[in-house]
Structure 1
Amino acid sequence: MSAVIKGKQLRQRSDYTYKFNAKTGRHGWLRLTPAYSLKIVEELIVSHGQSRRIFDPFCGTGTTVLSAAYHGHEGVTADINPFLIWLAQAKTAHYSLRQIEATREACAAALELVRLQNIEPALAPPIHNIERWWSPRSLDFLRLLRSAILLVTDVHSAERTLLLIAFCRSLIQLSNAAFNHQSMSFKDNSQLDIGFGVDMAAVFYEHVSFILSGASENPIGEALVVFGDSRNPTDVVDGLFNLVVTSPPYANRMSYIRELRPYMYWLGFLINGRDAGELDWTAIGGTWGVATSRLTDWTRPTDCFKSVHLSKVLEQIAHVDNKNGLVLANYVAKYFDDMWNHFQCLTPRLDQGAELHYIVGNSTFYGSLVSTELLYAEMLAILGFKKIECRAIRKRNSKKELIEFDVVAQWQ
């Protein structure tokens, strides 16, 4: 493996105030993308001004494809999560002044229906322990607002899409959820009365205004957001790409379905916990619900990624004095086997000289360091990529060994 480790001067901060557009700014449309990620993506795309087609095989909230389109490129992205596809399509769509004004009018009409309370509220989403998420007052407001939005807008209309995005932002602001950790958590008991004394209609109105300010700035390039499994990009997208910029799921057992479930339940993308677990199982790195139980009996296929370094790490994790060691070893093995499939199927979609940038962090399991960046580099070297580097970007938290990298490579 000929990877080069660079970047000893790590960035210590994750609170960049840099903002380049209301659609892709510091908090994004749905506060799901950290500021540093936005800045890195923007810098990479600006520095590759000659790239005609840019691919992000792990859509997320659509940061890469939207930035590509704003700079006049053709951006293409894919994901297996239908909610993320909906959100990215909404962010990259072009909105006319008439649609923006119609959305303002629909917002006023919806809030009037909520004020009068003469409509049937929507059913509360079947989220486990929903009372932990929202106070009764907040939940009542959200149920009325969800129903009102559907009454004042047409199916698949721009007005409904934009109001639902503002609704998603509102439901999180009015919730007891906290995002001051690596993954979503709940505020302490002293803060459980979120919504008491808050003008919730004003909260929603402010989010609508924010969304519309971004929607008025249409990208000059093209953006395509498609549904598909990133393990096989060849079946998902067509043509050749000059640049790949992406941040795949990390091997850290953080379930993106778990993080997204309040949005997905409220908007109808999830109906029950079983569906959530099934979707997480199909995603790379998913371990929530049924995904965890299936890992117990999972075995590696014969065409798996074979690496001495990976085998050593898996053995360390599996044999620790912990009953979950074998399950976690299987999780790590499946993660890298899935990424191996991804890289193998990506090459037919790369133009000669295409450059790859994979923003990814390493991880630890029971004290065993999983050097994701080095394993990515090993895969890329086996497949014939050149100029492979692992550029350290920043420390991820207080643990000195946890670092985020930009894994860079160039196709032949």
Structure 2
Amino acid sequence: MPLSGVFPIEDWDFRTADTKEGTHVIHSYPAMMIPQVARRLIERLRHLHGQASTLLDPFCGAGTVLVEAARQGLEAWGNDLNPLALKIAQARTTPLDGDALAATRAFFDAVLTPLQLATFQGPIPEFQGRDFWFQPKVSYALAFIAHQVETGVPDDAVRNLARMAFSETVRLVSNTRRGEFKLYRLPPNKLQNWDPDVLEVFRATFARYATGVEAYRPSLQAAPVLPRIVAGDARLLARVPDAYFDLMVTSPPYGDSRTTVAYGQFSRLSLEWLGVSSAEARSVDRRLLGGQPSVSPASDRKAEAPLSSATLQAQLTAISRQDERRAQEVATFYRDLAAAIRSVTQKLRPGALCGWVVANRTVKQVVLPTDVIIAELSRPLGYTVIDRITRNIPNKRMPRANSPSNVPGKTGATMTQEHVVILRFDGA
């Protein structure tokens, strides 16, 4: 029986919900699934699959699904390519020792003072573009905080939490525009008055995280096993066991990072300050789905096996009439997504239930219904659609309209809804 007939669609909007409750307060991240959606979706899948004990999130991002799965007693595995996402997810899913957490807060209050800062001798990390994105005195203060985190916090798990507070601080005190995922510098008139209190931003951020950790600590400590988080490509899932999972809940990228949500640009400055090599930090977007389009002439593309989605083929044809290259870029993303679906399939037990949470983008005024496309791509692999749910996205960062064609005055709608497609894997 479809769930949406029992649970009204409006219940999924969560317009007044606190989406930063508990450990979900730890670190912002692009296009996160809100905890209320993850929680309810897992509840629904468990209601339909009474014996479910394991859950996989192949695009785990900041770990929202993993937190909610652990709190419901499931053994959860998360996979992601982005090093920053993996660090955030680890911080969100690890219950910390209360005494060590309190001691670390007291330590930061004692040492993160202007007087102590004035005696700091460095060094200050160097990387390309550092002085473009950070004022010299901001870099100096960040280096001081990083030194205190690495040398003054003995508990490994608490230190990881402090690193995430530091990472958030990096973005908040940088010269980047607020409310953007991509890297845009503040305009000169705002930059000349930009004078962040770096020490206070970090202290307040860490204190906020600590409060969230304390709120969720009992439920995470009660979990039979903490989530397992691995670094990997969702198209391969090489470090995830086969035929092991009863449930799969995830929210894949909406499209390639270059033209939709720039996960790599969002993460780059934090990763470089955290000591990740510039080469790795700057390659995230290229390594994600659709990040390396193979743009070939139409004659070469005829030899490619068509994706098993009539809806996608029709939309690609409509896009190619306007822009052949753009159509190929979109096709590359969906080929990568299809590879991820095949990889996920190898990890599921027969009878497993999958919840895909997606937003449907528009390219060249052509809507790409990813929820429908996922259902069609999954059908030949042995899946059956058992429900679809649509929810409005309140407080969306994206504007209600943008200019996807870059033609002055010509706008198109952005993604203001999410779609949940629930599938059952009956076996290939």
TM-score per shorter chain, which class? 0.7 to 0.9
In structure 2, the partner of 1:38 is 35
CA shift for structure 1 position 361: 1.1
CA shift for structure 1 position 327: 3.7
CA shift for structure 1 position 378: 0.5
Name the CA distance, whole Å, in 1 between partners of 2:113 and 2:179: 34
In structure 1, the partner of 2:80 is 79
Matched position secondary structure for 2:95: coil
Identity of aligned residues (%): 22
In structure 1, the partner of 2:141 is 141
CA shift for structure 1 position 103: 2.1
Name the CA distance, whole Å, in 2 between partners of 1:71 and 1:326: 47
In structure 1, the partner of 2:64 is 63
Letter in 2 for 1:148: Q
In structure 2, the partner of 1:314 is 316
Name the CA distance, whole Å, in 1 between partners of 2:126 and 2:180: 25
Matched position secondary structure for 2:159: helix
In structure 2, the partner of 1:164 is 163
The within-5 A match list for 1:10-409 is 16-19=16-19, 21-24=21-24, 28-32=25-29, 37-49=34-46, 50=50, 51-108=52-109, 110-112=111-113, 115-128=116-129, 130-153=130-153, 157-180=156-179, 185-193=184-192, 196=195, 198-216=196-214, 217-218=216-217, 219=220, 220-221=222-223, 222=225, 223-233=227-237, 235-251=239-255, 253=259, 254-272=261-279, 275-286=280-291, 291=292, 295-296=294-295, 302=304, 305-320=307-322, 325-394=323-392, 398-399=400-401, 402=415, 403-409=417-423
Matched position secondary structure for 2:68: helix
Name the CA distance, whole Å, in 2 between partners of 1:330 and 1:5: 35
Letter in 1 for 2:75: E
Matched position secondary structure for 1:76: strand
Matched position secondary structure for 2:266: helix
Q: Note the residue ranges of structure 2 that are not aligned, 5 or more in a row.
A: 402-412
Could you list the per-position Cα deviations for residues 324-379 of structure 1 after superposition, in whole angstroms to 9, with x for gaps in the alignment? x3443222111111111111222232233221111111111222222212111101
Output the TM-score relative to the length of structure 2: 0.79
8 Å CA contact 1:317–1:365 kept in 2: the answer is: yes
8 Å CA contact 2:290–2:329 kept in 1: the answer is: yes
Distance 1:181 1:117, change over 3 A: closer
Distance 1:111 1:181, change over 3 A: closer
Distance 1:330 1:236, change over 3 A: farther
In structure 1, the partner of 2:407 is none
CA shift for structure 1 position 179: 4.9
Name the CA distance, whole Å, in 1 between partners of 2:3 and 2:71: 32
Distance 1:89 1:182, change over 3 A: closer
Could you list the per-position Cα deviations for residues 366-399 of structure 1 after superposition, in whole angstroms to 9, with x for gaps in the alignment? 2222221211110122222113444222266525
Q: Note the residue ranges of structure 1 that are not aligned, 5 or more in a row.
A: none
8 Å CA contact 2:311–2:372 kept in 1: the answer is: no
**CA RMSD after TM alignment:** 3.4
Could you list the per-position Cα deviations for residues 48-106 of structure 1 after superposition, in whole angstroms to 9, with x for gaps in the alignment? 44432121110100110011112222111111222222221222123112321342244
